[in-house]
Amino acid sequence: MSKETILIVEDEDSIAELIAFNLKKNGYDTLRVDSGEKALKLLNSPGKISLVLLDLMLAGMDGLDFCKKLRQMKKYADIPVIILTARSEESDIVSGLEFGANDYITKPFSPRVLIARIRAQLRRSTPGEEEDASDSYEYAGIRLSRAFHEVSIEERPIDLTSNEFSILDLFMSSPGRVFSRDAIILALHGDGYPVTDRAVDVSIVNLRRKLGGKSHLIETVRGVGYRVKKNP
């Protein structure tokens, strides 16, 4: 799946930076501008932006005017817009929603809430994305979504480390196939530190533990490696 690009319209540098940092960490591309005028210019140039995070209190064109102009653009009439506002600006929230914003977040906000709201909006604006076969697997009641980096068992989300997630992703991509430790190590390139045989074994132990009642699905093939059962 190609990365989605989020446009951050915010004139406070430190806030824009914090947002951009957290978005990148969660796999999004970001564009940053500090005014509505610059944002419109960007939106009018080629390329695709998936969502706008909009500070309401901007110098020059304010957030509400920007929102109104954005909704008049053919290309972005339906783009999700989340407004960022201080708690005291309740009337602004109301006008923001009236001017076509989809959601709002009050400052100060936690990065987790921000990411959750963004995901919810993107999910809504791209229906069927979760059904994309290359982005998610269903296997014996375990559901793995690459797009959202989430795993759930019988609809209950479980918390996996990045290594555990990648291992499960690898196994579920090909039930029955045995993966050697070397193959697993190759698949775990994302963490930035060298992965050892021992780290693979530890991740498998933890993964089995987190899978709870489904732990038996991960089999050890003695002297070769690991796999998930072909027929659960």
3-class secondary structure, 30: strand
> Which of 42, 57 has the CB closer to Ca ion?
57
Phi, psi for residue 184 in degrees, rounded to 5: -65, -45
Quote the least distance from Cβ 88 to Ca ion, whole Å. Answer: 13
DSSP 141-196: TEEEETTTTEEEETTEEE---HHHHHHHHHHHTSTT--B-HHHHHHH--TTSSPPP
What is the contact mask toward Ca ion in residues 114 to 133, using x (rule: CB under 5 A)?
A: --------------------
Least CB distance to Ca ion at residue 19 (A): 12
- In the complex, least distance from residue 68 CB atom to Ca ion, rounded to whole angstroms: 18
Nearer to Ca ion, 61 or 153 (CB): 61
Alpha-carbon distances of 163 from 170, 194, 201, rounded to whole Å: 11, 12, 11
The nearer residue to Ca ion, 11 or 135, going by C-beta atoms, is 11
Site for Ca ion in 38-57 (CB under 5 A): 55, 57
CB nearer to Ca ion: give 101 or 142.
101
Q: Least distance (Å) from Ca ion to the CB of residue 40? A: 17
36/225 with CB nearer Ca ion: 36
* Contact characters 56-75, Ca ion, x per CB under 5 A: -x------------------
Cα 210 to Cα 126: distance, rounded to the nearest angstrom: 30
Tell me the residue number closest to Ca ion, measured at CB. 57
Q: Are 214 and 153 in contact (CB under 8 A)?
A: yes
CA atoms within 13 A on the CB side of 15: 21
Q: Is 11 in the site for Ca ion (CB under 5 A)?
A: yes
In whole angstroms, give the CA distance from residue 70 to residue 166. Answer: 39
List residues binding Ca ion (CB under 5 A). 11, 55, 57
